[in-house]
Structure 1
Amino acid sequence: MTATLTVTPLRLGPLQVDPPVVLAPMAGVTNAAFRQLCAEQGAGLYVCEMITSRGVVERDEKTLAMLVFADVEAVRSVQLYGVDPYYVGEAVKVLAGDYGVAHVDLNFGCPVPKVTRKGGGAALPYKRGLLERILRSAVTAAEPFGIPVTMKTRKGIDDHVLTYLDAGRIAEDAGCAAIALHGRTAAQHYSGSADWGSIARLKEHVGIPVLGNGDIWEAADAARMLEHTGADGVVIGRGCLGRPWLFRDLAAVFAGRTPPPLPTLGEVTAMMRRHAELLAELMGEERGLRDMRKHMAWYLKGFVAGQQVRASLGMVSTLSELDRLLAELDPDQPYPVAELGTPRGRQGSPRAVALPAGWLDDANGAPHDLADAEIGISGG
């Protein structure tokens, strides 16, 4: 980070986020245990897994079970999915009034076909009128509670149908506290490179804070993004998979300090053990360890661990079994520097975006019947 870059706290209505770092909601990952693990590494805003507005309003059991927060979460933050202004507004009231949620983020960036083919996620901002009604409903519902509403989106449906600049203007006019932009289109999914130039253009286009998302694998990447785009903060997604200490490094770099040394395998296994312990406390040992299995490959990426140990860790079911397997690893093994700056998690390849028939005929016209897109089950 150059000496000319000054990182200031992010203001979201009455909230101050310092450093200006936000953990992106990730389905099956950012539960209360993972959020606590990240929060123990460094300050920031840690967002719950995406939940659906209809699930909240209809008191869906699975949805409400996800509204669990760790003691370290001074600010309860939830990302909400919805396509119906009524459901979104009512869900905000429930979250703020019944669950003490202090920040609501609205998801308009999901590229998954089962969502976009029904007009939801990254497809919805094309319908500018509907986007505005949803945002105004959420902001109006949040006002009596004094909580900020933000939105997250992508550049657009594909390179020919870009929506992010209109979305930014609409978000600002509706009273949103900030907008986060993933510098990819829905057609890209998670492939290729994020276009940080689009984040810079959005920053020039709106008067509310802009958060940049995409291809932040190391703390130095976040500093470069802020320098390149002028963004007010960063959103961290796949870069922290198996690397919750990224938030420690971000806190250091944004404060002008040198990040701590890379962890040895012994320090990584201690983090794995802490993660498993938190999951066991949240879900019970059997279910928690089952949930932990998907994190194993992310933690051990690039380390020499042995095929049999890796396979056994992928089937672990108790804390004692985990302890035995982790003890077989060399604690002094240095961090694999070849992994630095490389993509983590899902990547895939570009693909045509599934949309409702006639969706692109008129951006200003009345939207199609989106009843099927108003899914009631949360978690992505």
Structure 2
Amino acid sequence: MPPLQIGPITVDTPVVLAPMAGVTNRAFRTLCREAGASQGFYPGLYVAEMVTSRALVERNVESLRIVTFGEDETPRSAQVYGVDPATVGAAVRIIAGEDRADHVDLNFGCPVPKVTRKGGGSALPWKRQLFTDIVRAAVEAAEPHGVPVTVKMRKGIDDDHLTYLEAGRIAESLGVAAVALHARTAADYYSGTADWTAIARLKEAVRSVPVLGNGDIWSAEDALRMVRETGADGVVVGRGCQGRPWLFADLAAAFHGVTTRVRPGLRDVADAIYRHGELMIDYFDGDEGKGMRDLRKHMAWYLKGYAVGGDARRALAMVSTQAELREHLDALDLTQGYPGEDAEGPRGRAGSPKQPHLPYGWLDSRDLDAEFEAKLREAELSVSGG
């Protein structure tokens, strides 16, 4: 498959790590990049956690940490969320103008209530002029610095309020470098099966820039099948790599025609967990407690399918120090081999379809009323990473 071209950035392997709140920080991105590079190919794009435009403009410490990359990270990819064009433009100007990232992605895909009830994320493209203004502001802010802007979105709010084809055409006309579609609606949340036929339709509608597909990629074979069935120019991988950074080794191999797949035994998994812990402590500037607390959420994902008793799982989910982590990992039966498909498939809780939380009267019109427009600055979230 040909390389993925995102503006001036050429990516040998057409794979993107999706930004995930509380997951895709520098530590986890390092593990995924190392795995992908182990196949000898440039492994893909690895996008940082979402940063809110307001928080970034206000120079929030945690937001600035999110858009701080490792010395060996290249290209550096950041994702921005916002509902006010001026604030989004200012945030992108900071990222591009201060050389904080080489690529900016705009979030129009988040389905969580605290985002959609503000009119943001997957709710926002319903207001087409607002969507247009935000994308234009971001592209114009980034263009003088040669930083490409991409858009990640969902199909729409629900099956009766689809926006992805129109949004894709608008984004293309405004000069974005690529569009990515999570083939679910906001109402779908993460439930059911992703509608890959929507990716194919978007590919037919958007011709001049790459179209990337997202949703239900649990293996390298899934990624190849998505590209084959939809014509997508690449794939975006989210929940499928949680607790499985080595999935990027499989993806790199598969897209270059290599059949080798990584099938780690429990000792390999334990080594990955411990390295993840070291990287987390470094990410939090040497704060061991904070690093270990953040690592805890990953334990169930890493250990999925392996014969690890409940007591051991609970102990690992409560570690506070590196010494505790080492002790509990060494107590496992590290002679176990790969458990097969029990270690694969969906990660985390998919949940069930949900009625999207939207601003009052949001669906009454495709246009933005004056009252809500006046509230846009207040509606900006001030906390990044989720």
Range of TM-score over shorter length = over 0.9
Q: Which residue of 1 aligns with 2:129?
A: 129
The within-5 A match list for 1:47-58 is 47-58=47-58
Whole-angstrom CA distance in 1 between matches of 2:185 and 2:109: 9
Matched, 1:186 2:186: yes
Where do residues 205-224 of structure 1 align in structure 2 (5 Å cutoff)?
Answer: 205-207=205-207, 208-224=209-225
Distance between the aligned counterparts of 1:260 and 1:166, measured in 2? 39
Cα separation, 2, equivalents of 1:196 and 1:156: 14
Q: Aligned partners of 1:186, 1:11: CA distance in 2, in Å?
A: 28
Match among 295, 300, 312 for residue 298 of structure 2: 295
Give 1:171-250 correspondences, 5 Å limit: 171-207=171-207, 208-250=209-251
CA RMSD of aligned residues (A): 1.2
Query: Could you state the TM-score of these two structures normalised by the residue count of structure 1?
Result: 0.96
Match of 1:254 in 2: 255
Q: Distance in 2 between matches of 1:338 and 1:36?
A: 25
In structure 1, the partner of 2:379 is 373
Distance 1:296 1:353 in 2: 30
Deviates more, 1:15-24 or 1:364-373: 364-373
Name the CA distance, whole Å, in 2 between partners of 1:239 and 1:94. 32
Distance in 2 (CA, whole Å) between partners of 1:370 and 1:261 is: 47
Q: Which residue matches 1:3?
A: none
Measure how far apart 1:93 and its partner are.
Answer: 1.0
The structure-2 alpha-carbon separation of the partners of 1:325 and 1:340, relative to structure 1 and needing over 3 Å to count, comes to closer
**Deviation of 1:340 (Å):** 5.3
Match of 1:90 in 2: 90
The C-alpha deviation readout for 1:127-166, integer Å capped at 9, x for no partner, is 1111011101111111110010001000000011100001
- Larger mean CA deviation between 238-247 and 84-93 belongs to 84-93
CA contact (8 A) 1:217 1:340 kept: no
2:4 alignment partner in structure 1 = 10
| 3-state SS of 1:153 partner | strand
CA distance in 1, matches of 2:351, 2:247: 24
Structure 1 residue 76: Cα displacement: 1.2
Aligned residue number for residue 167 of structure 2:
167
Q: Is the 8 Å Cα contact of residues 53 and 87 (structure 1) preserved in structure 2? A: yes
Q: Partners of 2:293 and 2:358 in 1: how far apart? A: 35
Residue 329 of structure 1 and its aligned partner are, at CA, apart by: 1.4
Q: How many Å apart are 1:365 and its aligned residue?
A: 4.6
TM-score by length of 2: 0.94
1:85 positional shift: 0.9
Which letter does structure 2 place at the counterpart of 1:161? H
For residue 79 of structure 1, what is the aligned residue in structure 2? 79
Deviation at 1:261? Answer: 4.2
- 8 Å CA contact 1:119–1:370 kept in 2: the answer is no
Q: Which runs of 4+ in 1 moved over 6 A?
A: none
In the alignment, is the contact (CA less than 8 A) between 1:53 and 1:80 conserved in 2? yes
Q: Determine which of 25, 29, 39 is the counterpart of 2:23.
A: 29
Aligned-partner Cα distance in 1 for 2:35–2:62: 29
The residue number in structure 1 matching 2:39 is none
Q: Which deviates the most, 147-156 or 309-318?
A: 309-318
State the Cα distance separating 1:64 from its structure 2 match: 1.5
1:198-234 deviations in Å (ceiling 9; x for gaps): 0000000012210100000011100000001000111
Per the TM alignment, residue 332 of structure 1 is displaced from its structure 2 partner at its CA by 2.2
Q: CA deviation at 1:259?
A: 2.4
**Distance in structure 1 (CA, Å) of the matches to 2:127 and 2:160:** 15
Q: Report Cα offsets for 1:6-38 as digits up to 9, x if no partner.
A: x11111110011201111011111111111111
The 1-side partners of 2:237 and 2:256 are apart by 17
Q: Distance in 1 between matches of 2:333 and 2:2?
A: 40
Q: Which runs of 5+ in 1 are unaligned?
A: 1-6
- 3-state secondary structure, aligned to 2:353: coil
* Local SS of the residue matching 2:360: coil
Which whole-Å CA distance do the structure 1 matches of 2:97 and 2:333 have between them?
A: 49
